[in-house]
Structure 1
Amino acid sequence: MTPSLLVPFYEHPAERPDAWGALLAAAPRLYGVVLNPANGPGTAPDPAFADIAARLRAARVRVLGYTDTDYGRRPHAEVAADLLRHRDWYGTDGAFLDQVPTAPEAVPHVHRLAVAARAAGAGTLVLNHGAQPHPSYAPLADLLVTFEGPWDTYRDLDLPAGDRYCHLVYAAPADARVTSRVQCSVPGAGAHPWGTLPHALEAAR
């Protein structure tokens, strides 16, 4: 199995141009990159993010706009508005819905969000549950993130690792073995682990 990298890299392109360059250079290895200008699209377009999004698309990398669902508590209209801003401001061709609930009771709400994402042009939809969700979520998206957390927790788990599951692991050593085909393991820890690149890309810089 050759891993494919889904990279949530939450740093500004103007402040970390070398790191964004490493992502562009690794384009054939990427499942996609999560674009997150301001815990979502922000309140106004950011030209630096628009430029890097265009460069990623030119390199045939999926650009997934980050949108928080607050575990289903954010109103549908707010989430839909973020999806449209990502499309209109950054030309995203996919969506990364974060903090998605796992319980079956929330499936109808998430289904409406998935419909809104597709209507906003999301050719690829990723649901980040961060844990194993109820099976009813599987038909709603292209990829389910069924683990997001530190390596010390991940290494003791036995998680399903099918083609439609993704594991996001932080505070991970360079030799960490992540079992899902789509994955990302980074050295970063603490409150902002996704400000570091995957080990494989850091080593190549």
Structure 2
Amino acid sequence: MPYVTSTGTRRTGAVAGRLGFGVPGCAHPLVAPAEWAELARPYTPLHWAVLNVARGPGARPDPHCLAAAVRLHEARGRVLGHLDVRFGTRPFGELLSDAHRFLEWYQVDGFYLDRCPTERPGLAEVRRIATTLRALRAPAYLVFAHGTHPHPSYVESADQLVTFSGQWADYRWSQAAAWTADYPPERFCHLVHGVPRTHLDEALRIARWQGAGTIYFTDRQGHGQADAWETLPGYWDEIVSRIGPGVTE
């Protein structure tokens, strides 16, 4: 059960802050070259983009993925390696092996822990993973992709939590957990698919109200959430202009 004890209090800090994009995984650069080129455009307000070669780093170095990562680095964007935690069931050794390959082959800036546990019993293992990843690459930027509000203690081990990942029909009625008000907007990310262009302003208001500093909204749909993230939204230029120029600090 998500840890939501919402209040109607407006998050004034989020209103004052600048939103930016967290891109959870465009398709392979050979399939989506235009998407990767757009992410590396100057002044795109990109906080991070996930590199997912083949449900992880792949079996061998991929020159096309390396080139895409280099372009993002040159544009001062963060590149995160995709690690599937499988809700805490993935063997630690497998995760560590994937992390080493991401660092060696693509010089990633951190990691995106997909399907991260949300309950307190999973906390100790996730802390172990986070500590090890930061020892491998200091500083490593870590995003825990819960997709819902986890136990509040998870925030202590991550740079950012994905506290919503899902469709627009659910997002527009969603509520923030009261404990999130104790942290600045840059600690939270919302990923929403199926957002119509006509509701883009409403979606941005919800993100600011709930205190999310990083967002990814798309009108795309798919058989699964991952399919929806593979291409940029049809209103990409519009949402970039609404958020405004920016770079990762």
Contact 1:101 1:129 in 2 (8 A): yes
Secondary structure, aligned partner of 1:10:
coil
Q: How does 1:86-165 map to 2 (within 5 A)?
A: 86-121=102-137, 123-160=140-177, 162-163=184-185, 164-165=187-188
Match for residue 167 of structure 1 among 182, 185, 190: 190
C-alpha change, 1:77 and 1:5, in structure 2 (3 Å) is same
Indicate the residue corresponding to 1:15 in structure 2.
31
- Separation in structure 2 between the aligned mates of residue 49 and residue 120 of structure 1, nearest angstrom: 21
- Opposite residue 144 of structure 1, the aligned amino acid is L
Secondary structure, aligned partner of 1:66: strand
Inter-CA distance 13–112: structure 2 relative to 1 (3 Å threshold): same
Say how many residue pairs are matched: 205
Larger helix proportion of the pair: 2
Detail structure 1 runs of 4+ shifted over 2 Å in the superposition: 198-204
Which secondary structure state, in structure 1, belongs to the residue aligned with residue 126 of structure 2?
A: helix
Give the structure, 1 or 2, with the largest relative contact order (CA under 8 Å, sep 6 or more): 2
One-letter code of the match for 1:100? Answer: C
Measure how far apart 1:199 and its partner are.
Answer: 5.4
For 1:150 and 1:189, the matched residues in 2 are separated by 9
**Do the aligned partners of residues 172 and 11 (structure 1) sit closer, same or farther apart at CA in structure 2, a change above 3 Å counting?**
same
> Which of 205, 208, 230 pairs up with 1:195?
230
Q: Which moved further from structure 2: 9-18 or 46-55?
A: 9-18
Q: CA deviation at 1:186?
A: 1.1
Give the one of 10, 16, 33 matched to 2:49: 33
Scaled by the length of structure 1, what TM-score is found?
A: 0.93
Give the structure 1 partner of residue 4 of structure 2: none
1:36 & 1:87 partners in 2: Cα distance?
13
Asked whether the equivalents of residues 10 and 37 of structure 1 are also in contact (C-alpha less than 8 Å), the reply is no
Post-superposition Cα deviations, 1:138-181, rounded to whole Å, max 9, x if no partner, equal 11010000111001111111125641111111111123314122
Structure 2: 5+ residue stretches without partners:
1-16, 241-249
Contact 2:192–2:217 (CA<8 Å) still a contact in 1?
yes
Matched, 1:42 2:58: yes
User: Partners of 1:182 and 1:28 in 2: how far apart?
Assistant: 13
User: Secondary structure, in 3 states, of the residue corresponding to 1:71?
Assistant: helix
For 2:188, give the aligned amino acid.
Answer: Y
In structure 1, what residue type is equivalent to 2:190?
A: H
CA distance 1:47–1:142, change in 2 (3 Å)? same
CA RMSD of aligned residues (A): 1.8
Displacement of 1:57 = 0.7
Confirm or deny: 8 A CA contact 2:81 2:110 kept in the other structure: yes
* Contact 1:63–1:93, Cα closer than 8 Å, also in 2: yes
Work out whether 1:56 is the aligned partner of 2:72. Answer: yes
